[in-house]
Chains A and B, each alone.
Chain A
Amino acid sequence: MIKKRISAAVVLKNNKVVQSFKYKQYLPQGSINTIIQNLDRWGVDDIVVLDIDRSKNQLGPNLETIRNISALPISTPLTYGGGIRSVNDALKVINAGAERIILDNLFINQPNKIKKISAAIGSQAIIISIPFKISEGKIYHFNYLNKRSTKLDFKQIRKYGHLISELLIVDVNSQGSSGSYSSEVIEHFHSLNIGLICYGGVGMFKEGTQLLEDRSVNAIAYGNVLNYGELFFQKIKKSLNKSKQKLRRPIFREKI
């Protein structure tokens, strides 16, 4: 049986791993190599690297960092998002060491490029990031580049749905906190029939368990909280395994 995933989100800004709070405030977190190797050692189901200033600064994807991560003695699936502008960028990211890519800005501004990217790297490798806010029961897409929110265009997601494998839905107002994810947003995505990765303030225990029981939720991504202590990831998994959706057991690195 396929297991739902507990993903580890690593946010990069100016080439440094940071704790991110609502896409507004950032605190340095430490060496990326150490953080990534710890996550691998703890047996996280996959690692999601979000490089948040590549699009803003028109830098393209951070290939050097992906190659560095890829060279580490780890064997955990890697997903990368940040600065991907074209088919060529997407191919470079995959060839540098990621299994999957996350598109955000490109999907909003040039969604027609998704088809070409899918033809090159396959739809299984494409995730679309949807940073959202909820106001008076309506869902808004938050553009982190211009800090503006516009009503989320579900028609556009549906139109390109067959070319993407999952949606990363990020609760902007809860990002960096814990236990405050706007879970009510999930039902709005049910009709799309696209797997969801929930990120941004998902509670470690009760809230996470409830989200995992939703048929659309494939994964929960945790960020800051994983680095508060070495056993946090194991505790989260142990707790969430009480849900009907069994998770893979956390694994400590052992000698091969």
Chain B
Amino acid sequence: MIKIGIVDYGVGNINSLNKSFKSIGFRSTKSSDTDELKKTDVIVLPGVGSFAYAMDKLKKSKLDQFIINESKRNKPILGICLGMQLLVNSSDENGIHKGLGIIPGKIKELEGSDFHIGWNNIEICKRQSFIKKFNNHEFFFNHGFAFQGNTKNILSKTLYGKNLFASSIIKNNTIGFQFHPEKSQKAGLQLLKSTVRFLTKNK
């Protein structure tokens, strides 16, 4: 059975994620122990909070380097909400802060200094089989900053006011969702399941 390893670095709601993965038929564990996380099939980086605070927590626990090294070994990685933002090169939230640099790009404030909170639909840009059936489905967002980067890394976009931003991104075996699939009811759980299956397709 596929095993999910949720990175426990003291930022975000990991219990809900852990429970969600179990509910859709995967084994799931939450840990800050790199040896334990290495034994899993997919590493999930969660996060609710500010970019700088979260990066600081990752660095202090040396999990930042672990995640970077695992990505170089082509380990499947899934970042959710702030966890997605941490995957990129840098963020402008409360100053300029360096990210993990796994997916090229920057995190910038949404135009209008606005918060995007609530349910919105995603428009699929790449026709990967695991996500195309979720075109125009609604997911729960809760953020004020968003990804800016190369089109080739953008899986889906979402329109909010004047902002047409990347709501999910991909590079090799790393995927990031700006929204919370684990809090997006039926469609969210189905997407999580589909994503894990895609990331572990060679297993």
The reply to whether A165 and B12 contact each other, CB–CB distance below 8 Å, is no
B20 at the interface (CB under 8 A from A): yes
B135 at the interface (CB under 8 A from A): no
The residue in chain A whose Cβ has the minimal distance to the Cβ of B141 is: A2
B188 at the interface (CB under 8 A from A): yes
Contact A256/B183 with A45-B119, A162-B113 known, Cβ cut-off 8 Å: no
Among A96, A98, A125, the one with the most B-chain Cβ atoms within 10 Å of its Cβ is: A125
B96 at the interface (CB under 8 A from A): no
The reply to whether B49 and A120 contact each other, CB–CB distance below 8 Å, is yes
Q: Which residues of A contact B49 (CB under 8 A)?
A: 94, 120-122, 125
Q: How far is the CA of A125 from the CA of B185 in the complex (A)?
A: 20
The interface bits of chain A over 1-32 (1 if a CB of B lies within 8 angstroms of the residue's CB, else 0) are 11111000000000000000000000000000
Q: How far is the CA of A251 from the CA of B23 in the complex (A)?
A: 18
Q: How far is the CA of A76 from the CA of B138 in the complex (A)?
A: 13
Q: Which residues of A contact B190 (CB under 8 A)?
A: 256
The reply to whether A75 and B182 contact each other, CB–CB distance below 8 Å, is yes
Among B16, B120, B182, B184, the one with the most A-chain Cβ atoms within 10 Å of its Cβ is: B16
Among B11, B116, B117, the one with the most A-chain Cβ atoms within 10 Å of its Cβ is: B117
Quote the shortest CB–CB distance from B119 to chain A (angstroms). Answer: 5
Interface residues of A in 47-88 (CB under 8 A from B): 67, 70-71, 73, 75-78
B66 at the interface (CB under 8 A from A): no
The reply to whether B20 and A75 contact each other, CB–CB distance below 8 Å, is yes
The reply to whether A124 and B13 contact each other, CB–CB distance below 8 Å, is no
The reply to whether A119 and B16 contact each other, CB–CB distance below 8 Å, is no
11 contacts between A and B (CB under 8 A): A71-B15, A77-B142, A94-B12, A94-B13, A96-B13, A99-B183, A119-B94, A120-B50, A123-B115, A124-B143, A195-B117
Given contacts A95-B13, A99-B48, 20 further A-B contacts (CB under 8 A): A1-B121, A2-B116, A3-B119, A3-B120, A43-B185, A70-B16, A71-B15, A77-B140, A77-B180, A94-B13, A97-B16, A99-B142, A99-B180, A121-B49, A122-B49, A122-B82, A123-B115, A162-B113, A165-B117, A166-B117
Interface residues of A (CB under 8 A from B): 1-5, 40, 43, 45-46, 67, 70-71, 73, 75-78, 91, 94-100, 118-125, 162, 165-166, 195, 218-219, 248, 251, 253-254, 256
